Amino acid sequence: MTEGVAVKPGRQPRVWIVEDEPAAAELAAELCESWGAEASVFRSPLPYLAALRGAVAPMAVVLDWRLEHELSAALFLATRHRYPQLPVIYWTGSAASALPSMIVADALTTLVDKAQGAGPFERALEWARGTGTG
């Protein structure tokens, strides 16, 4: 079991969402909560980076590739640096070919197309739960 990633028995899994588009952030939070996770939304990088310095990691992080000021890659690297085994869900409208290979080839990262609806997002949460507790 990876320290800081596993969910304690009887507790809701926590998912951190980094999304600067209000409607998308709200939808992602609703999907997480309907799935049974506690969602924390970060609308800008600095609060997210401050949270990364905390002692307890979430079950997973949801990032959008098209964050304002093109900071998604930097947030991905900061996440990997702090929590190398943390599952990352890239929930994006960008094609996989538009993302860098460090993200596409990362075994603990999965890509979810925003246009495909709730099902793939919920399956990604299940994948993260299995990955983070394995």
Q: pTM (2 decimals)?
A: 0.87
Q: What is the rounded CA–CA span in Å between residue 128 and residue 39?
A: 14
- DSSP state letter for 88: E
Q: Which helix (H) or strand (E) holds 73?
A: helix 72-82
Residue 8 has pLDDT above 60, yes or no: no
**Is 37 a domain residue?**
yes
How many domains is the chain built from? 1
Q: Where are the alpha helices (DSSP H) in the chain?
A: 22-35, 45-52, 72-82, 101-104, 118-133
**Is 28 a domain residue?**
yes
**Is 126 a domain residue?**
yes
**Is 22 a domain residue?**
yes
Overall average pLDDT of the 84-112 stretch: 94
Write out the two tokens for 100.
């860098």
Residue 51 has pLDDT above 90, yes or no: yes
The whole domain housing 18 covers 14-133
**Is 56 a domain residue?**
yes
CATH at residue 93: 3.40.50.2300
CB 60 within 8 A of CB 87: yes
